[in-house]
A and B are shown apart, each in its own frame.
Chain A
């Protein structure tokens, strides 16, 4: 007769190592949470008073930004930020999805691999380099257009948009490609077996099935575009006026580095106020997208 082994633990409770590790993981997790909480608090504390002083309505909807005269209206910057980001996403989305389709479905393996490496490289280029290229190549090109239309030549919204398009394309492409690749092959087989052409199966089945992933790409792209300052400063002309496509614009992000060095007192507080406005906008965009993403996802999963 063989002896059976008892399954009652020799020591009760978790071991010391296990407990220490759990604590360590918890601390690491808390760091991130604490950072977000303190940043939010700091932005509110630093930016809140000036908004209260100027008045929420005058600050957010005021049309004149003239710190010397204590006029702190940031409405032109808010509109410019939305216009530049929205325009960039609208252009980058169709381009990005088409490139993603090409990479995931149509390109021969070798070409796809080479393209993918180049696109990753694009994502790694520092934004100031994009700014340089924009200032040297893109802006002079648009000067021609402005001259032809008898407009004053300057940095402009169109240039800012196009630079942002190039900057967010890699994100949209790679996230969309992953999403399209994740669509089960069975869907496409079913589409083909019903007599679809290859393109019909991609555009009527695979892309709709990858919808939630593509939306995630838009969220990330929007986040990057709306937060970008350096490249935009160099091509946008930076006048704090209501935006026109070929006129100079100043975004929320760019106001801060442009004026930081020489600002003081209320002026500097106002820059904090801009920071807070940007912070709230990005939070709002993220929340809205996340909500719609959840809805879309729920439908996809049935």
Chain B
């Protein structure tokens, strides 16, 4: 799937992360390409979710975390001086493992981000809500109940709502932390289709435990093990001819 004209969107340079004394990420160097889907795979505790959270600085909320190295986003260091974290997180949206809509109406969930970033005009908000829900392929299911509580939706619908909520702030990158692990197979396949569609406009980094999912949707795959990036290549290459023995062992299910 690899094209020749792919642009680098994001790059990490010698990224280390410590939780207190625990060395959780060990010198990660990795590129994320624009308008591609990059899958992060690896056994539990290998650091892939931690890595994902360094990209929008969601680790900042944990007091014991120390980070060295660089995350370069469009030429700017995410951990540099004078970075406005709120703008960073507007630009780099995140979808969580289990759906977490706010206990508000569907409309207010989507309008939350734009409102926080200063959009007050009713007409514009209406447009953003419709556009975001349409992009997340859930508009038809909820257009008649925008004022109803979001928690009344099914799990799969809630997750698509969360994706729509993310899109409403007009991000450039979407980070997804095992977005389908709490969903049934039908909801999962809907979300996968959605992710595949979103690639046209967004760069997507997705953590997944599901090897088939990585193979199905992603253009690039990174294999993490014990805090290290073991192998990173096109998804085709990783799944058909991995260069490192550990990668092959993992994707063929011989350890984990």
Contacts and interface: CB of A to CB of B under 8 A. Distances in A.
Interface of A: 184, 186-187, 189-197, 200, 204-205, 208-209, 299-302
Contacts of B169: 194-195
B68 interface: no
Interface of B: 56, 58, 61, 85-90, 93-94, 96, 98, 100-104, 112-113, 115-117, 149-152, 162, 165-166, 169
Given A208-B104, A302-B103, A302-B152, A196 B86 contact: yes
A301 B90 CA distance: 28
Contacts of A186: 96, 98, 100
Contact of B117 (A184, A195, A299): A195
A192 B58 CA distance: 8
B116 A194 contact: yes
A301 B102 CA distance: 11
Contact of A204 (B61, B94, B96, B112): B112
Contacts of B151: 301-302
20 contacts: A184-B100, A187-B102, A189-B61, A189-B96, A189-B100, A191-B112, A192-B58, A193-B58, A193-B93, A193-B166, A194-B90, A194-B93, A194-B113, A195-B90, A195-B116, A196-B86, A204-B112, A204-B115, A205-B102, A300-B149
A200 B102 CA distance: 14
B11 to A, nearest CB: 21
A193 B101 CA distance: 12
A242 B14 CA distance: 75
B104 A193 contact: no
A225 to B, nearest CB: 29
Contacts of B103: 187, 208-209, 300-302
B179 to A, nearest CB: 13
Nearest to B166: A194
A184 B100 CA distance: 9
B166 to A, nearest CB: 7
Contacts of A302: 103, 149-152
A193 B117 contact: no
A194 B88 CA distance: 9
A191 B93 CA distance: 11
Contacts of B61: 189, 192
A245 B39 CA distance: 67
Nearest 3 Cβ contacts at the A-B interface? A302-B151, A195-B90, A186-B100
Given A192-B58, A194-B116, 4 more contacts: A187-B100, A191-B102, A195-B113, A302-B149
Contact of A195 (B86, B100, B101, B149): B86
Contact of B116 (A196, A209, A301): A196
Nearest to A210: B103
Contacts of B86: 195-197
A204 to B, nearest CB: 7
B102 A209 contact: yes
A71 B195 CA distance: 78
Contacts of A299: 149
